[in-house]
Amino acid sequence: MLHELRGAEGRLKKLGRIIFVPLLVAVAYVAAAKLGFTLAFATKQVTAVWPPTGIALAALLLWGYRVWPGIWLGAFVSNALSSEPVWTAAAIATGNTLAPVFGNFLLRRFGGFENALDRVRDVLLLALFGSAIAMTVSATNGVVELALARIVPWSAFFSVWWVWWAGDAMGVLFVTPLLLTWIGARQKESAEGSTLELAALATTLLASSSISFLSHLPLRFSVYPFIIWTALRFRQREMTAAIAVVSGLAIWATSHGLGPWASGPLDSRLIQLDSWMSVLAITGLVLGAITADRRTARLDLQELLTQTKRSAVMLQAAFLPDHLPQRGNVRCDALYIAAEREALIGGDWYDAFDLPDGRIAFSIGDVTGHGLDAAVTAARLRRSIFAAAHDTADPAQILTKADHLLGSRHEAPATALVAILSRDLSTLRYASAGHPPPIVASPRTAARLLTHGGFPFGIGIPIASETHTVALEPDVAILFYTDGLTEFKRDIERTERAVLQAVMRLVDAPHVDRPAVFIQRSVMGSQRPADDTVLLVVQLSAGLQKSWSYDSRNPLSAHTLRTEITHFIRSLAPSEDELFGTELIIGEALANTVEHAPGSVSVDIDWTDAYPVVIVSDAGPGLSRLVTTLPADPLNENGRGLFLIASLARDVQIEAQPGMGTRMRIVLPTKRAAEA
């Protein structure tokens, strides 16, 4: 039953479209005919523009051939109301229907016409097929019927035919585009001009048109700058409206003896008026279509660039490491920036990975050029360095082996640098193949460029790389980079000084969230580089001694600190098996301050010796002695934490400081791993 009801509803809607749309077209045709008759000159049939023809063709283009009965009905009523015999009105209505039907057929069959009129070819097709050719049918049929009805003499056949054809053709040029752009196809792009600019345009266009057509001044071309303005800043909708307003005012003024075509023979006046209006319409529509084509091409290009950049980012990410080594005392951060002028991926790369013996290897390089070939070469070179680093410990030999692994497959020159950080973070060994040197800075030593050398890959001579060894101080920062950073403003010396200053500022602010971004913005600001740029920052903390402070009145801060201390110990512990007791000791010590010593608490850890020493100092009431036994009452929680600490730690000492709190010294049971 429900299915039948839906089917009946669908049939009613279809029937409504079949009946309602043609009736609507008929009503619009009759109303437009009344308007057209008001624009007549010597006789009712002599009118410079016949809007109903434009409505008829637009209706066919919008809704198809099913609206032809409405066109015929509207044409018949319009002609019957103009004091013509019924048979003449019916015959003329037939020609007025066949002309737009013929125009619609030509546009759809041979032109591939699109209603939006945002292509130049559509404007020209409308002017040729829909206006010039198709309207010969209605003009010929109409004049023949008027002559047969003795309404016009046969001697006036050509002059009446020309006026009829011109009126129908102008109706198509002015009315059809207006309806198609405002009722038909949705505009693909938004106007560049604002609402305020549109209001200014409308005001000045009306003022210019009034001066041109309501006076006898020879200023009929003064409206063209505003038509050009409309085309450049707005869409075809605004253009068709502007053409309709200007043309309507010109026709009204001419029919009332005003404007530049107010005098002279009727035929001459109409020829001049229609010629001027046709040129205005075609010029405006063509300019609007050219602008629409340009906007569409720009949008397509922007979309293509967006897709290309998105694909490039994804492809570049596939060629770069998905994560960097992170330890409690080693922090790595990297940044890749594509060149501003390039939409494709580049040949810059970076890498960082842990070696089996606990050392950390870094590589960075730059293949000349951009695009997929450069990126593939960079990926091959990166993989070759990765493989060689697991086979030899010498950076210079790593570069030499990578060169041999690539062989002749890297046609473009490429620079590269390999660096290896010792397990105890005390030394950095590196070698360069023509790559910019690393920058090293610490709180006690100003930022400096390290020694560099070697020749790039792929230039036909051995890379001649040499391994250099650098002793690293605590809290050092190391910057590896490609030349896109130092060549940012084509002033290498000045930019290098800016980079050195940025690295020093980073050392003074070691807790920056993104060190690589911090340096890049310090040097480049908000500008993008002219070449691909890579920054790889390595920060080392004072590995064996650290200090923290927190407020024990905030349990969350104690929990966070416990995680940080555990992470630090884990970074130097030989295995996870020895960490359980240590984590339990730290947790109980911090929990004890939360419960019994609210206020400021400091925690210091010193792992200079084999076993770490933790000192917890609080501002509580102070403990007089260390309790090493469980309470007699099994339900009593007091003292259990201290009992666990004393039982698991290698040594525990408590010092009460009257008025100053308690100082607890704990030697943890985890032994630091032996350094190779």
DSSP string for residues in 517-561: HHHHHHHHTTPPPSS-EEEEEEEE--TTEEEEEEETT-HHHHHHH
pLDDT tens per residue, range 95-141: 999 999 999 999 988 877 888 888 889 999 999 999 999 999 999 99
What average pLDDT does this structure show over 385-395? 91
pTM: predicted TM-score of the whole model, two decimal places:
0.54
Question: What stretches of 256-366 show up as alpha helix (H) in DSSP?
Answer: 266-319
The token pair at 491 is 């002033």
Q: E-strand spans in 37-93? A: none
Copy the structure tokens of residue 551. Answer: 């407020």
Supply the DSSP symbol for 657: E
Give the CATH number of domain 18-186; options: 1.10.1760, 3.40.50, 1.10.3120, 3.30.960.
Answer: 1.10.1760
Q: Give residue 318's pLDDT.
A: 65
Q: What's the mean pLDDT in 380-389?
A: 90
Lowest mean pLDDT among 40-49, 103-112, 576-585, 638-647: 40-49
370/484 Cα distance (integer angstroms): 13
Q: Which residues does 43 contact at the CB level (< 8 Å), separation at least 6?
A: none
What's the pLDDT at 421? 93
pLDDT at 671 over 70: yes
Q: Find the mean pLDDT for residues 348-365.
A: 90
CA 496/CA 487 separation, integer angstroms: 9
pLDDT surpassing 70 at residue 7: no
The answer on pLDDT for 413 being more than 90 is no
pLDDT score for 635 = 46
Domain ranges of the chain: 18-186, 188-318, 320-540, 545-667
| DSSP-assigned states of every residue in 363-418 | EEEEEEEESHHHHHHHHHHHHHHHHHHTT-S-HHHHHHHHHHHHTT---S-EEEEE
Mean pLDDT, residues 331-353: 78
Higher pLDDT, 42 or 110: 110
How far CA 65 is from CA of 99, 100, 108, 142, in Å, comes to: 13, 10, 12, 22
Same fold, 18-186 and 320-540: no
Residue 97 has a pLDDT of: 94
Q: What percent of the chain has pLDDT over 70?
A: 84
The dotted CATH code for 320-540 is 3.60.40.10
Whether the predicted pLDDT of 342 surpasses 70: no
With beta carbons less than 8 A apart as the criterion, state whether 146 and 88 touch.
yes
Residue 449: its H or E element: strand 445-449
Per-residue model confidence as pLDDT tens digits over 443-477: 888 999 998 888 888 877 888 789 999 999 878 99
Report, as an integer, the average pLDDT of 561-579.
Answer: 75
* Side-chain half-sphere CA neighbours of 51 within 13 A: 22
Q: What is the pLDDT of residues 182-222, one digit of tens each?
A: 886 565 567 778 889 889 988 998 888 888 888 777 677 88
Lowest mean pLDDT among 286-295, 321-330, 413-422, 633-642: 633-642
Residue corresponding to tokens 């209006």: 277
Whose tokens are 């829909």? That residue is 130
Supply the pLDDT for residue 264: 72
- pLDDT score for 315: 62
- Place 16 in a pLDDT band, splitting at 50, 70 and 90: low
More confident residue, 263 or 137: 137
- Report the C-alpha gap between 441 and 503 in whole angstroms: 7
Of 402 and 571, the structure prediction assigns the larger pLDDT to 402
Q: Say if residues 75 and 52 touch (Cβ distance below 8 Å).
A: yes
In this prediction, residues 637-643 reach a mean pLDDT of: 68
The pLDDT of residue 361 is 95
Asked if residue 363 has pLDDT above 90, the reply is yes
Q: Is the pLDDT of residue 604 over 60?
A: yes
Distance of CA 380 to the CA centre of its chain: 30
What is the pLDDT of the chain when averaged over all its residues? Answer: 82
Superfamily classification of domain 545-667: Histidine kinase-like ATPase, C-terminal domain (3.30.565.10)
Distance CA 92, CA 132 (A): 19
